[in-house]
Structure 1
């Protein structure tokens, strides 16, 4: 019985380890454009992807909106784009992301086991020029929510096996000046679907189907301005 029990235990551990390793594999970020390859239809990967590793701490939210604690990542988009994709995964755990921007908060907490049920928004501001960006201007800017997402089956599951990570794709609406993807200041807002605390490491990626040299991402306006120098 002991040998049988040990054998079952080893098998369970092995299966869990394989499943956990597979959960860490992050597929290429696919755009809304699909291509048929043989019997399969696949998404064409985005050409340009900017990755940001961060850590959300309780009590460090940027705004309380509709009863939810929202955090923001600011993004400077230097050229018009036909489409933008955004995805967020928590926790980062053992994922290896090449050339990612690593925030100091992430570096200080990268071993944390905390994670959260991500809920994301993509917002465009009324600020269209680099020289107009400042903390005061951002606080007084008009923000338009272009798209939002809660759960996506395309992303790795969370440690409890739930499909709670988020992904959105937004195509530029050139007929509506407020919803066209022009040069300007954008932000990704994130929180949890349910009201509560947001705490844990996360990977946020913003992508486009064309090269956009000069895209910048930062948690604060001061950090964004420093990157843009």
Structure 2
């Protein structure tokens, strides 16, 4: 009997430690590295914008390559040398300063559901706020700049797997299609594995310079409200 109790306690302790670890995010560092003593670290981004949401079957934005994609739209108000994007699921009570929280997140903040994140960073052909409309976004040309499935730099999920995502993209000024210019971007996300996307998530977009006026929203309507 005592042996069984000890096994159960050990199992609960393991689950708790993994779940607690999943809430700890390191500082978001960019491509620039700095040596401090024997360690080499990525210099933290100076601009980090956070969005907390909840994804569920049925509210996906598009089916692409057989996968259900969800989008978070991002307005970048100035030329940037580099952008970083990372996503964690589940959020499970993580305290993130100045994060935009969607209504769906607030309604499901206690959910323990999570998904194997897969993210993309896309830039649109829209470079003016005046052209940001539902129809304008649908007809815009979207260019995929970077994508990521699993990152060992991110906290492990409650399952113990490193299935959270992180990408960094450096602007290519010599190529108009790959340069990080002023304009409308979006973070696309789905699950790499077969199955539904369901659970709370934290998405962050970061840059190595201050970009006053960066806005993130799940819908074009909500994005435009933040411009006012």
| Matched-pair contact (CA < 8 Å) for 2:15–2:158 | no
What does the per-residue CA deviation read over 1:59-85, in whole Å, with 9 as the maximum and x for residues that have no partner? 111000011100000000000000000
TM-score (ref. length: structure 2) = 0.95
Distance 1:80 1:23, change over 3 A: same
Aligned residues: 228
After superposing the two structures, state which structure 1 stretch, 104-113 or 73-82, moved more: 104-113
Runs of 5+ in structure 2 lacking a partner?
Answer: none
CA distance in 2, matches of 1:144, 1:89: 24
Q: CA deviation at 1:94?
A: 2.4
Give the match for residue 105 of structure 1: 104
| Matched-pair contact (CA < 8 Å) for 1:69–1:195 | no
Write out aligned runs for 1:133-152 (5 A): 133-152=132-151
Give the match for residue 200 of structure 1: 199
| Matched-pair contact (CA < 8 Å) for 1:122–1:186 | yes
Runs of 5+ in structure 1 lacking a partner?
Answer: none
Secondary structure, aligned partner of 1:55: strand
Secondary structure, aligned partner of 2:174: coil
| Matched-pair contact (CA < 8 Å) for 1:127–1:184 | yes
CA distance in 2, matches of 1:141, 1:170: 21
Secondary structure, aligned partner of 2:177: coil
TM-score (ref. length: structure 1) = 0.95
Give the match for residue 41 of structure 2: 42
| Matched-pair contact (CA < 8 Å) for 2:150–2:162 | yes
Give the match for residue 77 of structure 1: 76
CA distance in 2, matches of 1:108, 1:27: 27
Distance 1:218 1:133, change over 3 A: same
| Matched-pair contact (CA < 8 Å) for 1:67–1:195 | no
Corresponding position: 1:189 with 2:197 = no
Q: CA deviation at 1:57?
A: 1.1
RMSD (Å), alpha carbons: 1.4
CA distance in 1, matches of 2:221, 2:184: 13
Q: CA deviation at 1:8?
A: 5.4
Corresponding position: 1:177 with 2:176 = yes
CA distance in 1, matches of 2:165, 2:117: 6
Distance 1:36 1:54, change over 3 A: same
Distance 1:216 1:175, change over 3 A: same
Secondary structure, aligned partner of 2:69: strand
